[in-house]
């Protein structure tokens, strides 16, 4: 499906199908191309008593990236050459691909040969160092742009309590296709093992400019049976168990956070002659909040 011809609206609830790409973080051994069915069920309205973003006021975890080096007590740099979705990068643990500078985390994709890949980049996760069930997850970032560039802020299940991907879910807070730099998506992946995997998304279009012009806050509020997506505090999507019924809703267990910058792949296509390197995703902070009465 070609999304570039959609009309940009700043305040929508969308429930459209994303076809032709597999999850950005499925477990090893799954096919790299997806025949999964995309859901189109609209989000279900919630009662006014659902927690507001402001209600999640207890900060339980954060990284402000003020240290001279990446805090390895909070982040693991995943390493590997073969990733899903036909992505082209090798993820490394090198300080040239992920580093802190001037109070920011810099994830940098480079055009360079490393083993079997023509690009290098970084993918950071908090698994075993930061795992949460419910809360507000908030990341302030400035995103790269360009054909074939794919930054993402997302979450995966810590315990796979319902089985491997996508049975235990995947929760994408933000993804951007570099060829449409004014638009981000929020997505969930669910269902059964490929080819029974499914996904459903909402999209948000900036009224003016692109996400590479300045920093923006990407967040979710996540409660039992309810997830809501926001850009700069403006809600644009939500899901509940009814949204994906009769499929199982796996989002009431623990998840961990991932930040990465991919190159190429099924989601937005590969770089072309217009794509410049290096590309950088800048992160000002990552924070997790709970409701005051909740445990950390």
- Active-site residues: which are they? 170, 175
Three-state secondary structure of 152-189: EEEEEECCCCCCCCCCCCEEEEEECCCCCCCEEEEEEE
Judge whether 228 and 238 are in contact, CB under 8 Å.
yes
According to DSSP, the residues that pair with 188 across neighbouring strands are: 171, 200
Distance between CA atoms of 266 and 229, rounded to whole angstroms?
Answer: 24
Question: DSSP labels for 23-47?
Answer: -TTPPTTS-SS--PEEP-PPPPP--
Q: Which of 228, 265, 224, 258 is nearest to 155 (CA)?
A: 258
Task: For 255, list phi and psi in degrees, rounded to 5.
Answer: -130, 160
Distance between CA atoms of 231 and 238, rounded to whole angstroms?
Answer: 13
Judge whether 166 and 23 are in contact, CB under 8 Å.
yes
């Amino acid at each position: 499906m070609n999304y570039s011809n959609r009309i940009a609206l700043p305040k929508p609830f969308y429930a459209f199908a994303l076809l032709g790409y597999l999850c950005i973080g499925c477990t090893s051994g799954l096919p790299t191309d997806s025949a999964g069915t995309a859901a189109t069920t609209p989000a279900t309205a919630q009662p006014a008593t659902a927690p507001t973003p402001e209600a999640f006021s207890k900060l339980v975890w954060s990284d402000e990236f003020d240290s001279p080096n990446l805090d390895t007590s909070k982040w693991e740099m995943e390493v590997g050459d073969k990733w899903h979705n036909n992505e082209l990068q090798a993820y490394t643990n090198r300080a040239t691909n992920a580093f802190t500078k001037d109070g920011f985390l810099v994830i940098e994709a480079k055009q360079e040969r490393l083993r079997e890949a023509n690009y290098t980049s970084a993918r950071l996760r908090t698994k075993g160092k930061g795992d949460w069930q419910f809360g507000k997850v908030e990341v302030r970032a400035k995103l790269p742009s360009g054909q074939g560039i794919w930054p993402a802020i997302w979450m995966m299940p810590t315990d796979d309590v319902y089985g491997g991907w996508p049975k235990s879910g995947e929760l994408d807070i933000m993804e951007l296709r570099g060829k449409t730099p004014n638009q981000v998506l929020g997505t969930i992946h669910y269902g059964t093992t490929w080819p029974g995997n499914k996904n459903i998304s909402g999209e948000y279009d900036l009224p003016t400019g692109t996400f590479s012009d300045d920093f923006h806050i990407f967040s979710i509020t996540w409660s039992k049976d309810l997830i809501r997506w926001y850009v700069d505090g403006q809600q644009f999507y939500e899901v509940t168990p009814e949204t994906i019924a009769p499929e199982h809703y796996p989002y009431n267990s623990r998840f961990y956070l991932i930040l990465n910058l991919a190159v190429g792949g099924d989601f937005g296509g590969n770089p072309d002659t217009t794509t410049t390197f290096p590309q950088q995703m800048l992160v000002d902070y990552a924070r997790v909040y709970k409701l005051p009465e909740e445990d950390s």
